Amino acid sequence: MGQLRDVQLFIRKANDAQDLPDLSHLLDDMSRSLGFRYFALGHHVRVLSGDLVQIANYPHSWTERFATLGYLSDDPAVTACQKAIVGFLWSDMHRLITLSERQKTILTESRHAGLGEGFTVPIHLPGECEGSCNFVATAGKSVSTAVLPVAQYVGCFAFEAARRLALNAPRRIAGSQTPGIPHLSSRQLDCIVLAARGKSDTDAGQLLGISNQTVHQHIETAKRRYGVATRTQLVVHALFDSQLIFQDILRH
Amino acid sequence: MLCVGLRRTNSVVHIVTNLNRGRFRRQIDQMHRDRKRLFVDRLKWDVSVIDGEFEIDEFDTDRAIYLIETDRTTARHVASVRFLPTTQPHILSTVFSSLCDGPVPIGEDIMELTRLCVSPDLAKSAAVSMCHHMWIASVEFALLFGISRYTGVSQAQFLSSLLSSGWEIEPLGLPRDIDGQITGAVAMPITPDTLRRARARFGYRYPVLEVIPQTQAA
């Protein structure tokens, strides 16, 4: 009964989530209470567009390496999703797919980055881009199979909440009635410029004389004001609205 | 009796009850045949088969209500769903009561939704739109007949589709492995908002059900 109540509570909170950062916090909490450390929820696409969504709390170093090396199309969990109808443990992945050498490399590297056993809930919606919700334990830590039914349900409900938030997120189309440009403080804009120049939160913090957590907070607040999920979206929106200009980011 | 039709499609949805089932004998037979081909042959469910070709269980009685969608040209069964009153023994209260953590929801305004079936003869795209028709028809049926929620047993892989179709889903227990399928009991509250979301999702701007007055349908 306790587990069911946890799921019911999560569903209620996920339905009430106002934006993707809200939902990220909920998933972060839920992952930890199930004995995991990380989550990643999203559509399986390289480039986000339209109503697609990707949120995660993986270590930054891993997220960057994953994007830079284009690991998504070879991600073994993504490939295994195509064969799976319900959630699977990463340690069982070999039963679904034959891992290529590159896929074995990705798994090994992910362990070095601190990612251990994972549980992937595939999301197949007719006529829509495929996605998944992943829960990942710290490397070396085991996962109790008793939590997997909870993770299965949480993954499905979280994905639906993310879909809804992405669909309802404010979007501006050139020429349409703009609801007004969100206000960004000069400090927030500083942080966005540095992020757009490829600086980490720590580097940006040093340049601005503030802590990396404060930098992170400025960027999260700005993302929330724009109703976007990623830094890249934030930069594009800020450029589009001329809150930044390209010269801020290039040729500095 | 009521007769319910879908606009602008080549099919029509009938509400079939013990009062009018005499007019639908052929379609009911086809429904049981299609259910056997879908649930037994394709999905490998362990359910009873009569005469080797009809999937009929102990709940296919006078109390069951069916929505049966038929092709306008051939009058053949293309999709169907079965509703059982929860005030009588039904699947969740008998076969799968262990899937509910608490008491099985029972009430005059609660019905169990079971055996959603699309004919295996249909191409995949047609099958998907028949499913959409059945979902919308089920919501409209509930609103017309004062049903406040459906209960049912769903395999976990269908949960995302249900959610994305606008259904509000309340788990009644955690999913379990039943014959190799991760299966869970759920309740689905129905409100006018459920209908709004389902229509928005599938692009229906108007009611898909056309209710013909009793006198004309007779």
Q: In this predicted model, what pLDDT tens digit does every residue of A184-207 receive, in sequence order?
A: 887 888 899 899 999 999 999 998
Q: Does A10 touch chain B (CB under 8 A)?
A: no
ipTM of the complex: 0.84
Q: Give the CATH number of the domain where residue A230 resides.
A: 1.10.10.10
Q: How many domains does chain A have?
A: 2
Give the model's confidence band at B60: pLDDT under 50 very low, under 70 low, under 90 confident, else very high: very high
Task: Check pLDDT > 90 for residue B178.
Answer: no
Structure confidence at residue B65 (pLDDT): 94
Task: Check pLDDT > 80 for residue B37.
Answer: yes
Contacts of A130 in chain B (CB under 8 A): none
Quick one: A48 and A13 in the same domain?
yes
Q: Does A144 touch chain B (CB under 8 A)?
A: no
Q: Give the CATH number of the domain where residue A155 resides.
A: 3.30.450.80
CB contact set of A88 (below 8 Å; sequence gap of 6+): A80, A96, A119, A120, A122
Contacts of A1 in chain B (CB under 8 A): 101-102
Contacts of A52 in chain B (CB under 8 A): none
Q: What span, in angstroms and rounded, lies between the C-alpha atoms of A157 and B186?
A: 13
Inside any domain, residue A176: no
Quick one: A162 and A190 in the same domain?
no
User: What mean pLDDT is reported for chain B?
Assistant: 88
Beta strand extents in B34-76 (DSSP E only): 49-50, 54-55, 65-71
Distance of CA B139 to the CA centre of its chain: 10
Inside any domain, residue A78: yes
Quick one: A144 and A52 in the same domain?
yes
Quick one: A243 and A120 in the same domain?
no
Q: Which residue has the tokens 């999260």?
A: A220
How many angstroms separate the CA of residue A86 from the nearest CA in chain B? 6
Structure confidence at residue A166 (pLDDT): 86
Span B132-146, pLDDT tens digits: 889 999 999 999 999
Inside any domain, residue A24: yes
Q: Does A200 touch chain B (CB under 8 A)?
A: no
Quick one: A82 and A132 in the same domain?
yes
Inside any domain, residue A210: yes
Quick one: A20 and A131 in the same domain?
yes
Quick one: A214 and A141 in the same domain?
no
B174–A4 CB contact, under 8 Å:
yes
A125–B161 CB contact, under 8 Å:
yes
Span B144-171, pLDDT tens digits: 999 999 999 998 988 998 898 888 999 9
How many angstroms separate the CA of residue B173 from the nearest CA in chain A? 6
Span A34-52, pLDDT tens digits: 999 999 999 988 777 777 8
Contacts of B174 in chain A (CB under 8 A): 3-4, 7, 149-150, 153
What are φ and ψ of residue B14, in 5° steps? -105, 145
Give the model's confidence band at A68: pLDDT under 50 very low, under 70 low, under 90 confident, else very high: confident
B163–A157 CB contact, under 8 Å:
yes
Inside any domain, residue A179: no
| Cβ pair B160, B175 in contact under 8 A | no
Dihedral of CA atoms B72, B75, B80, B82 in degrees, nearest 10, equals 120
Q: What span, in angstroms and rounded, lies between the C-alpha atoms of A88 and A80?
A: 9
Quick one: A120 and A203 in the same domain?
no
Expressed as residue numbers, the domain containing A199 is 186-250
End of a domain among A166, A196, A213?
Answer: A166
Find the closest chain A residue to B163 by CA distance. Answer: A160
Quick one: A40 and A70 in the same domain?
yes
